[in-house]
Structure 1
């Protein structure tokens, strides 16, 4: 059975006043919090067991789910937040979601069905999303290349050409216990140096070690809310089929 873990420990300081007194995932979008869109999609995909890893404004969460906590959220990055959910990651397959994104249930289903022990979702039509969010898409977009067999070849570097980018990672992963075991070993090896490790850097480290990382294209609408300006960028997005 697949579980889901939402990584919601960070403050999201680039959101400005929207996160002064509440977690980033409480930001409203189309009449619902980002967290509500995530929970809806995960449950519609058939995932009943969901955990949230809290940090900033932890006391604001009241959802009837399981909770883990990252007490060092202000001084560590997302991979350390992920590690707080180690008991779940070591026990069963888990879908791992950033807390500042929205996506469809079908994307979750496709990711959960991927045969690879570690897999990530990505948007092959990323440019349309980035053009809504940025005057210059290359100011934020990162490299993303796949091997002929569909596994990940490169991720997370800056690129000078849109033509060199095959997609964009969207903040949704699948981990089996075996994949988590490799990640945990890498974190132990890095020690305190892992505190500032972000997810794409983790994936790059894994590629350097020869990990196979599956890639699954997004289905339906999705987006990332990284700043207050992103909210306007999704004004025309169709939210009617998030639970499909």
Structure 2
């Protein structure tokens, strides 16, 4: 059987890195969220390293807060051989959906990975996700393993129907089957859901519209490393896990 190359499935990735990271409290000290230090490295550097290791070599970064600082730091620290371009969302305070809209032209109508700068993921996570993506529908990374109740309460949930298809995404959804691990493979048809939503809506609303329309396939990445860093406590927990 021919072995698939994860990087060939989606050779381009979009990273949403426009936010300020105000929920991280004193740990930011005015630093843009993608550049907040995690074990002595910018938090987004883990995502860039994982993408390079998984064979994804073309990255589009959507900037917002402190655009020049983010651009300079990422260009200086990108992995060898990685192509990197930038799109600026001047309305970054109005929500992440505007950052996604800003990236449309840069995706050139091709499938692309969508990642959040504050989700730390491993190369094995990305490889397993990409290899599990169907060829005809957008997909979301889904974690079915049990986690600490406090973490689950803050996480974004995935509701599935009896056939295993995503029916809704959001915080506080009950009942839910899995956690949204913050990584998506979006195909050209996904832009229909983006256009159907209001400009300043959240990403969960867009992806719920996508799930109910064109469809959104959950890809099981259970057992692979990922961590969503939203708060100062999350940052401490991620540091402990990475050091463990």
Do the two structures share a fold, i.e. TM-score over 0.5? yes
Is 1:69 aligned to 2:88, yes or no?
yes
Is 1:119 aligned to 2:169, yes or no?
no
User: 1:3–1:49: 8 Å Cα contact kept in structure 2?
Assistant: yes
Give the distance between the partners of 1:97 and 1:126, measured in 2 at CA.
22
Change in CA separation of 1:141 and 1:37 when aligned onto 2, cut-off 3 Å: closer
1:70, distance to aligned residue in structure 2 (A):
0.2
Deviation track 1:111-136 (CA, whole Å, cap 9, x = no partner) reads 333114211112111523x54x4xxx
Alignment match, 2:188: 177
Alignment match, 2:218: 215
Matching residue within 116, 120, 124 for 1:98 = 116
Give the distance between the partners of 2:204 and 2:194, measured in 1 at CA.
16
Q: Which has the higher contact order (CA 8 A, sep 6+)?
A: 1
Matching residue within 207, 230, 234 for 1:230 = 234
1:148, distance to aligned residue in structure 2 (A):
4.2
Alignment match, 2:169: 155
Give the distance between the partners of 1:173 and 1:71, measured in 2 at CA.
24
Alignment match, 1:194: 199
- Gaps in structure 1 of 5+ consecutive residues: 188-192
Matching residue within 76, 93, 103 for 1:85 = 103
Large movers: runs of 4+ above 4 Å: none
Give the distance between the partners of 1:88 and 1:150, measured in 2 at CA.
32
Give the distance between the partners of 1:84 and 1:41, measured in 2 at CA.
24
Change in CA separation of 1:214 and 1:39 when aligned onto 2, cut-off 3 Å: same
- Gaps in structure 2 of 5+ consecutive residues: 1-7, 76-83
User: 1:221–1:237: 8 Å Cα contact kept in structure 2?
Assistant: no
Alignment match, 2:80: none
- Cα RMSD of the aligned pairs, angstroms, is 2.2
The SS at the match of 1:194 is coil
Please give the TM-score of this superposition, normalised by the length of structure 2: 0.81
Give the distance between the partners of 1:27 and 1:94, measured in 2 at CA.
25
Give the distance between the partners of 1:94 and 1:212, measured in 2 at CA.
16
Change in CA separation of 1:213 and 1:4 when aligned onto 2, cut-off 3 Å: same
Give the distance between the partners of 1:70 and 1:93, measured in 2 at CA.
21
Please give the TM-score of this superposition, normalised by the length of structure 1: 0.81
